[in-house]
Amino acid sequence: MTPIELTDANFQNEVMESDKPVLVDFWAVWCGPCRAIAPIVEELARDYDGKLKVGKVDVDNNPEISMRFGIRSIPTVMVFKGGKVVDQVIGAMPKPKLVEKVVAHLVG
């Protein structure tokens, strides 16, 4: 499973109304650290397929969502559960640390 491309138009349906936890990667094409964590985000989409929805928001193309959640620095990864932000990570981080953040919300 590959990450879903999230937009201002589909964010409500795909994230806020999801019955599964959702990991959202806020990124931009020009952002080096964003490109560095992209393979990790894709691995999480595959590893947790069926348990976790994974999506990516291009902040340049979707300013409404970015402003709504106060994205000031990218990459920012947020975990949503029941339509609420339950965790947030700002900046690039190694896969084990990101997995630790996500798994806590899958079992909780």
Q: Which of 15, 24, 34, 74 is catalytic?
A: 34
Q: Does 15 qualify as catalytic in the annotation?
A: no
Please provide residue 36's backbone torsions phi and psi, each rounded to the nearest 5 degrees: -65, -35
Say if CB 8 and CB 62 are below 8 A apart: yes
Specify the DSSP element, H or E, that contains 6. Answer: strand 4-6
Q: Does 34 qualify as catalytic in the annotation?
A: yes
Tally of CB atoms within 10 A around 95? 14
Q: Which of 24, 31, 44, 65 is catalytic?
A: 31
Residues identified as active-site = 31, 34
